[in-house]
Homo-oligomer: A and B are copies of this chain.
Amino acid sequence: MRLYINDVAVRDGFQIEPRFVPTATKVELVDHLSRTGLHKVEVTSFVSPKLVPALADANDVLAGIERVPGVVYVALVPNIRGVQNAAATTKKPDEVNGVVSASETHNRANINRTHEQSLAELPTMVKVAHDAGMKITMSLSTAFGCPFEGHVAEDMVLRFVEHFHEFGFDGVSIADTTGMANPRQVEELTRKVLERFPAPNETYYTLHFHNTRGMGLANVIAGIAAGVHSFDGSLAGLGGCNFAPGATGNICTEDMVNMLEDMGYDTRVDIAKLIACAQLIPGIVGHEVPGQVMKAGVTMHLHEIPESLRQ
């Protein structure tokens, strides 16, 4: 079965690093990632440079990277202003990705809008993106739980997905923003979404998991069982959790790819090249990262038989 793997490290990972990653380093990393077989690479975000100084170089990153045919280059946009800025840049992203939280409290905390305000601007976001020749997808954050409100009603998730369809978005990402999803919940909720609003194509729905409580890769399996083909990860497991110092953030892309390839899925990703990219990360950010396969090697990375056992 063909699966589509997207990496968000350059955006979701670097955005919380205290040390600014130089533009040239971001560009170089994206250029490496472009040659690994990934489906999408999220390269930056059009947000206020005051709020997220780490990504203040969005225009330069987009202008600097080499576009490899077949790879979709994505930028996050929190609002209409973000879409407009993405549309106005010299080298536009192929796709912009909006964001709204299924939990109203999280939506207000994250993008300073009520649900009503968010919904009111979504059709314009679609129009501005499409007029500029960019695709636009929507991420539904806190779809499996909210760090403030706790339980998030499935109906709320279904209602948002319905709106995204109506408004003409090109794809929907269902996101477990703070790692609260469990595999049973993922399979049940995702199945409902796909039954109620069938996917027009294999990459319409994406699942975006965090590994905050260690359930990330188990949730990927549950998502596949429910019929999803597209998954986000972050190189080297880069990223963190705003609510828990020391806890991990996004699931690790190369750990996910290693598992899926072992299971016989076709990700089209060259795991050796991806690991080589991951091994650049500790040097770039100056600290340890959660990725496992980059330390242990791929599953079939064998070790020398001890001297004493050899004839």
Residues of B contacting A244 in the complex (Cβ-Cβ under 8 angstroms): 295-297
Shortest C-beta distance, A265 to chain B (Å), equals: 9
Per-position contact with B for A99-113: 1 when CB-CB < 8 Å, else 0? 000000100110000
Are A259 and B145 touching (Cβ within 8 A)?
A: no
| Copies held by the complex | 2
Are B185 and A296 touching (Cβ within 8 A)?
A: no
Which residues of A182-224 have CB atoms within 8 Å of chain B's CB atoms? 182-185, 211-218, 220-222
Are A213 and B247 touching (Cβ within 8 A)?
A: no
- Tally A residues with Cβ within 8 Å of B: 56
Residues of B contacting A299 in the complex (Cβ-Cβ under 8 angstroms): 145, 180, 182, 213
Interface residues of A (CB under 8 A from B): 105, 108-109, 145, 147-151, 179-180, 182-185, 211-218, 220-222, 241, 243-248, 252, 255-256, 258-259, 262-264, 288, 292-293, 295-300, 302-306, 309
Can you spell out 20 A-B residue pairs with CB atoms less than 8 angstroms apart?
A105-B305, A105-B309, A109-B306, A145-B299, A147-B303, A149-B302, A180-B299, A183-B221, A184-B262, A211-B214, A211-B292, A214-B217, A214-B252, A214-B258, A217-B217, A217-B218, A218-B218, A244-B295, A247-B296, A248-B292
